[in-house]
Structure 1
Amino acid sequence: MASLPTFVETVRKEFQPSFWWPVQFCVYTTLTSYILSIITGNVSQVDRVWTFLPTIYTAYFALLPFWPKNALLPLFPYTPEETYSEAAQSYSLRALLMLALVVIWMFRLSYNTWRRGLFNLNDEDYRWAILRQRVPPWFFQVVNFTFIAVIQNIILFSLGLPTHIAAFQQPSKLSTSDYILATLALVDLTCEFIADNQQYSFQTYKKTGVLDKNEWPAARIAWTPEDAKRGFVTRGLWAWSRHPNFFCEQTFWAIITLFPLLAPESPNLPAHPLSSPTAIWPLTPALVLCTLFFSSTLFSESISLSKYPEGYSAYQQRVAMFVPFLTPVWGVLLKLQGKQGKVDALLFKHGNDTKALENKKSQ
């Protein structure tokens, strides 16, 4: 088996200079997270750095002119002298804009992760505990190494690739597409923040039975005992999408992926080391992330379905998994089957609505 220094040297030979440091960093974070998962018995090590790693890779590519030519310390970022000169000497306005948006994304996710206690070193994603019970120990360790440690770290690295392209484009000014996409990204992050807050507000009420008047705007929903008894949130953005936060997360990285692809300078740039008219690799970050979220959501929903078989089954029939625009379509289909009224009563009746329905029936 090749030693780590030998592997690093292979990386230097096979990859473009602008990839030397981030690929090495990805290898080290992968090995570290896996080793820590074995030592601690907690496989959520990658989860604790998920909010930071895409920002680190994005910042590296956006700030190529800032880094020294040689690493000052082990794992310290640097820009090799062999890097394409324009990208190494001049900042790309587009890459800097993308970095600013990713930093906002990082603060949002870090805040949500912190208040849920997921930065606690003893915390582990509840889904891994359930998976442990469903598969043999040896198979779980295979999943731990291949998916949890290796694949997830590669995905996080790939989220920086759009900024890598933008760093080589060197536009003299931002284009119309940049302004449109930046606006869409900010709207998307706002919706994701609202979805996070509504979910957190519901879970807090479900545990305490007390409404918090200090919730963020758009999350000050008058939850009722009926909501808590149902077990899962069906109000606010969650009435339109079963996972509005996941939908916004995938949309955000799709938008980031499109920045360099919709720009006038792209995608076929002679200056860019991996550009070609038929290259599809720039789409990789968004496609891979969507695949991850879809498969992960299927597993999460199987758990919810086992806990709330009747209610969550109705929720799946009535509300789209991700895309909110499909929810009215599901409603029409249920109406044609004569099921919409029953399903809506099960999912969307709250307190006074339920009492009013009972009074109407008694008259």
Structure 2
Amino acid sequence: MAPLPLPDIVSYLRAGITPALRWPVKFCAYTTATSWILSLITGNVSQVDRIWTFMPTIYTAYFALLPLWPSEAPLPLYPNTPKDVYPGVAERYSPRALLMLGLVTVWMFRLSYNTWRRGLFNLHDEDYRWAIVRQQIPTWLFQVTNFVFIAVIQNIILFLLGLPTHVAAFQQPSQLSASDYVLATLALIDIACEFVADNQQYSFQTYKHSGVLNKNDWPGARIAWTPEDAKRGFITRGLWAWTRHPNFFCEQSFWAIITLFPLLAPESPQLPTHPLNDPTSLWPLAPSIVLCSLFVASTRFSESISAKKYPAYEAYQQRVAMFVPFLTPVWGVWLRLLGKKEQVDAVVFARTEKEARKLE
């Protein structure tokens, strides 16, 4: 059989994409190509990091605001709602999708603020881990990694984070349900906890490098850091006494909550024939599963670097759970049974046994 000519291949691929996904897929392709080309021009592979803070909001906004967009795009890459999209979706806003957009927008402001104050929007800044990866693998393999993982896969993940709102937009509820209110409350609590974790880390790093306590820290981050904390090199107080990565735990939890909005809703999707709109399929779980997989792999690599840099980090790994804070008391009990708890607590927290017992 003769191969299809290129125009036919493009038409075939386009036919497999539902109308409401055409613009997001095109936008994802353009951002992927742009971030990869910029990484080659600048020699800085952290281009995706700079757009991570707002890309999920763009995809979420597109799906939540489908009735707003014109049927024909007046400019290249301008969002549009194709004429062949499901009529109800193009005519009525989904209150659930709008609620999800509001939550994702709040998430965006928190992450953008933390990224800005750390100076990561600087075009010359690059994730410190990529310099280490460059030293460990050949140049050609690093460039393959840059294209496949950094540019393509990460942009696909950002696209996937908008899919729960795509499902919610097709559910077309007349009003919000009890599950929406519960999940929205949990999402806001999650964002607040992540904000506190960010502020505690920023406060600690500021003290570590300056040796001066900042009295103007955000509430929840006004911790009386000590020279012992700075000497240890990494934070083990506040939320960080319960989980080694409270910000990562909250980040994964937030997107898991967003994923649950359409899954726990009482309405059935308007288009159950497509897997993206069918809550009984595994597709709606893809965003949170893929994101969690990324965080687990990335965190393990980061911790391997920290363990080599800080002598006490191995004890911290034994004492405090990586993500789930509820496991930390379990590790404390286990270390007590092994007769190592006092020794580990002294290394990790530099506190007395009475003070450390409060963590259990």
What TM-score bracket applies, with the shorter chain setting the length? over 0.9
The alignment of Structure 1 onto Structure 2 pairs a total of residues equal to 351
Q: Which moves more between the two structures, 334-343 or 130-139?
A: 130-139
Amino acid across the alignment from 1:148: I
Q: Which consecutive residues of structure 2, in runs of 5 or more, have no partner in the other structure?
A: 356-360
Q: Give the conservation status (yes or no) of the 8 Å contact 1:34–1:149.
A: yes
Secondary structure at the aligned position of 2:66 is classed as coil
Give yes or no for the alignment of 1:181 onto 2:199: no
Q: Give me the TM-score of the superposition, normalised by structure 2.
A: 0.94
* Residue 248 of structure 2 is aligned to residue 246 of structure 1: yes
Give yes or no for contact 1:62–1:99 (8 Å, CA) kept in 2.
Answer: yes
Specify the SS of the correspondent of 2:108: helix
Report if aligned partners of 1:11, 1:23 keep a CA contact under 8 Å in 2.
Answer: no
Q: Distance in 1 between matches of 2:309 and 2:8?
A: 50
Gaps of 5+ in 1: 357-363
Equivalent residue letter for 1:339: K
Aligned partners of 1:242 and 1:32: how far apart in 2?
34
- Measured in 1, the distance between the counterparts of 2:182 and 2:85 equals 31
2:354 pairs with 1:341? no
Q: Secondary structure at the match of 1:301?
A: helix
TM superposition shift of 1:272: 6.6
Write out per-residue CA displacement over residues 338-359 of structure 1, whole angstroms, 9 at most, x where no aligned residue: 0000111111126xx69x9xxx
Change beyond 3 A, Cα 1:4–1:77: farther
Distance 2:73 2:4 in 1: 23
TM-score scaled by structure 1? 0.93
Match of 2:70 in 1: 68
Contact 1:95 / 1:166 at 8 angstroms: preserved in 2? yes
Name the CA distance, whole Å, in 1 between partners of 2:42 and 2:6.
23
Does structure 2 conserve the Cα–Cα contact (< 8 Å) formed by 1:33 and 1:45? yes
> For the residues of structure 1 that align with 2:116 and 2:13, how far apart are their CA atoms?
35
1:279 Cα shift? 1.3
Instruction: Please report how far the alpha carbon of residue 14 of structure 1 lies from its aligned counterpart in structure 2 after TM superposition.
Output: 1.5
Q: What letter corresponds to residue 175 of structure 2 in structure 1?
A: K
Aligned mate of 1:151, from 139, 150, 153: 153
CA root-mean-square deviation: 2.0
* 1:220, distance to aligned residue in structure 2 (A): 0.4
Q: Which residue of 1 aligns with 2:285?
A: 283
Q: The residue matched to 1:65 in structure 2 has which SS?
A: helix
1:298 aligns with 2:294: no
Equivalent of residue 173 in structure 2, options 159, 166, 171: 171
- The equivalent residue for 1:324 is 325
How do 1:1-363 and structure 2 match up within 5 A? 9-266=11-268, 269-270=270-271, 273-274=274-275, 275-276=277-278, 278-309=280-311, 311-349=312-350
Displacement after TM superposition at 1:2 (Å)? 10
Asked if the contact 1:159/1:253 (under 8 Å) is kept, the reply is yes
Q: How many Å separate the matches in 2 of 1:339 and 1:148?
A: 41
Cα distance, 1:273 vs. partner? 3.4
CA distance in 1, matches of 2:218, 2:8: 51
210 and 277 in structure 1: CA distance in 2 versus 1, 3 angstrom threshold: closer
